[in-house]
Structure 1
């Protein structure tokens, strides 16, 4: 079974509570993520994986009201949370999505899914060489690859960000990165900061078809290029780069 696991928590350091922030007057960001993913032709189940922290009881309540399966796991070791969740739901293959991706394009998801399912890859992604706008990150991997990472990952970044073990150990995995025909990775409609939600709300208000596709958003930005400036101060992977510094400290202590 190909299952999608959306990692979500209320305790974001950059934008606390963002996943339940209402972005269209009615629906929270997390609902938009789910609605976009439901348009995929390949996903057989969608699960929210949150933490056991009391503040994330709100996410559990949301999931129950929305009829979405919920799993609770470790707050910091997200790799463990994914592994335990995938094992609980008997997923043979997993799509990893973060709740930041309110407007993830199901067509991009399905491009990755078809590559993963039709080939003998352990890990298919569009993140190791970024060409898509930030907010369209897709990562497909087999349960066996996830289990190998779970049993062997030691670095803080590998445990927090789930998939770094794959590309830190490329000799162990068959990895494929798929790209857009044009590098437009400087664009972002992810939800990391309060300025991001301003742009997302504007985009949603201007696009009346559902699901929302990348081409819809690009058309808006082409006609109104000033919108791009709203959140351009922030760059992709700021949280991951912070984790890499923690890796250095971890290695230093291990060697001492």
Structure 2
């Protein structure tokens, strides 16, 4: 593992033990500590307050080929590291596998004087425990290489929301309003250590934060919303998206360091006029709830807005609000309820449920969906 060069002046050697706050975590060890001396706003004694971890390389199901694709003047991975350079809340560490195939990623990080933690490829959650062992911090920020346009200023705003709220876990993915490819998670290290000790299912270990997300009764969750609804913008790291992103950046002037919100004006996602769309519920849904009188299940009253333990969506057909759907989540089980405008086209409600399926298939917090206690969907094998 490479330590930061002295010029960065981030760490000094030390030794101590970490006892997570609240007494929930069962992993307690004597670790090599360091003092963060950089420009960040969150500094506490000899343990970092904030550590940004870029997860990369091989894991249980994927390789690193897409991370090494050309993107701008570098690779996808190199561009991500360049975009988080200058993050002001704490240092940056890369977490990759110990497979020789990931050596090139370590070289790219070394060129930028970013430290690297290497661990086995078959347990991503254990990889983050290795990060905590080498770089103790109260909170970890997790970003991955599926976010080639990740924005350090967006990360800082989510860190601020996390530390201000006192949450155990904060993300802009619980209620998605940002473009896919701007995913940021912040988690208390003691919560992550809980997960490392207790998570048994393969998806909870591969998802790193999934164990915590699925247990809102045990951990305080915080959702961060964008100022508008931008989830139709697809900026993730697959080949098709990379081509679109490159064209988008060229339209905007060619800078691969442009802030994410400055790119929105140049992106025109194609949305069929006839499509039923889900949008995270806001006040524009609350204002019309009285008009939605046909019900599915038992919709909560009051209708939840911004609750990270519930997926609350307005259902739109074009510019018309035709319904509102809530999926309440506990221990991975989602319970669906909804309200619809009476007399809507008979095909629209099934289309809305299909849209819910599409969202929940990509939602790590939800294992299965029920209505009135009867299982109707199982999203995880």
Q: 1:14 to 1:144 in 2, by over 3 A?
A: closer
Distance 1:164 1:99 in 2: 18
1:14-64 residue CA offsets vs partner (Å, 9 max, x unmatched): 78511121211x21111221122224332x111111111121111122222
TM-score, with length taken from structure 2: 0.56
Query: Which residue number corresponds to residue 54 of structure 1?
Result: 100
Contact 1:156 1:247 in 2 (8 A): no
Query: Which residue number corresponds to residue 248 of structure 2?
Result: 203
Query: Which residue number corresponds to residue 41 of structure 1?
Result: 88
Match of 2:78 among 31, 35, 40: 31
TM-fit CA distance, 1:89: 0.9
Query: Which residue number corresponds to residue 146 of structure 1?
Result: 192
TM-fit CA distance, 1:66: 2.2
Distance 2:249 2:93 in 1: 24
Bigger fraction of residues in strand: 2
Distance 2:63 2:127 in 1: 21
Query: Which residue number corresponds to residue 252 of structure 1?
Result: none
TM-fit CA distance, 1:247: 8.8
Contact 1:93 1:142 in 2 (8 A): yes
Distance 1:102 1:237 in 2: 23
Secondary structure class of the residue paired with 1:141:
strand
Segments of 5+ residues of structure 2 without an aligned counterpart are: 1-47, 271-357, 369-377
Residues 57-136 of structure 1: pairs in structure 2 closer than 5 A: 57-136=103-182
Q: 1:69 to 1:239 in 2, by over 3 A?
A: farther
Distance 1:31 1:16 in 2: 13
Secondary structure class of the residue paired with 1:183:
coil
RCO higher in 1 or 2 (8 Å CA, sep ≥ 6)?
1
Which protein shows a greater Rg?
A: 2
Contact 2:109 2:115 in 1 (8 A): yes
Contact 1:12 1:18 in 2 (8 A): no
Q: 1:16 to 1:9 in 2, by over 3 A?
A: closer
Secondary structure class of the residue paired with 2:197:
helix
Contact 1:157 1:240 in 2 (8 A): no
1:210-247 residue CA offsets vs partner (Å, 9 max, x unmatched): 6321222111115xx56xxxxxxxx8887777x96999
Match of 1:5 among 53, 63, 75: 53
Distance 2:167 2:174 in 1: 15
Q: 1:73 to 1:237 in 2, by over 3 A?
A: farther
Residues 147-186 of structure 1: pairs in structure 2 closer than 5 A: 147-186=193-232
RMSD over aligned Cα atoms:
2.8
